[in-house]
Amino acid sequence: MNSIRAVLFDFDGTLTLPGSIDFAGIKKTIGCPPDEPILEFIEHLPSVADRRQARRILEQFEDQAALHSLPNEGAEELVRFLKQHHIRRGILTRNRHASVETALKNFAHVCLADFNVIITRDHVQRPKPDPEGVLLAARRLRVPAATLLMVGDYRYDIEAGRRAGTPTVFLESHLTTRRPNPPADFVVCTLGEIPDIIDGLNRSRKKTHKDPK
């Protein structure tokens, strides 16, 4: 395992408290089946007008959620820890960039400038679970994907990270209904557990480098 040089976070439900976005409400309003992802459903609507209207509704829900989003437990402390230890920081989300900016204004000790890269659906053709965003983030962070730790609270985060070749961390919460399958490399209940994971991976790398077997 390579040493960790950067951490890439999902945003909603990972850096922010889970539950701020009403996904069920969005799906009901635009007519998306409960078991179908919203962005993909919108892209396959039959007309430009239908797609435009569905996106407008989605953005309204996202804007309201962003206004009321709060930092997740340990999120600000973890970002500061990474910054102090010169580990680069990124965000990868299926949300819009504008919503991320709005939500980060509710953070007391972390701001937009504390992240070296922010990749949203505005920046990729294929959002998570496709690995495109992870690989784009790695390029912009100037680190190999294998040295990038992907952290998220949904299976799409883990799938995208695995397909890009990164180690992955799944963040469980009271809203978790199932773990990803295939599983993440690590499962945590709080973001405060991640420094120990990074330390363990980096120690393992140093030991392997000094004493190859």
Domains of the chain plus CATH, in order, are 6-17+71-210 (3.40.50.1000), 23-68 (no CATH)
Percent of the chain with pLDDT over 70: 95
Under 8 Å between Cβ of 42 and 185: no
Task: State the pLDDT at residue 178.
Answer: 84
Task: State the pLDDT at residue 146.
Answer: 96
Under 8 Å between Cβ of 207 and 8: no
Three-state SS annotation for the chain: CCCCCEEEECHHHHHECCCCCCHHHHHHHHCCCCCCCHHHHHHCCCCHHHHHHHHHHHHHHHHHHHHHCCECCCHHHHHHHHHHCCCEEEEECCCCHHHHHHHHCCCCCCCHHHCCEEECCCCCCCCCCCCHHHHHHHHHHCCCHHHEEEEECCHHHHHHHHHHCCCEEEECCCCCCCCCCCCCCEEECCHHHHHHHHHHHHHHHHHHHHCCC
Task: State the pLDDT at residue 212.
Answer: 45
> Per residue in 107-132, pLDDT tens?
999 999 999 999 999 999 999 999 99
- Would you say residue 136 has pLDDT above 60? yes
Q: To the nearest whole number, what is the mean pLDDT of the chain?
A: 94
Task: State the pLDDT at residue 165.
Answer: 97
> Per residue in 76-95, pLDDT tens?
999 999 999 999 999 999 99
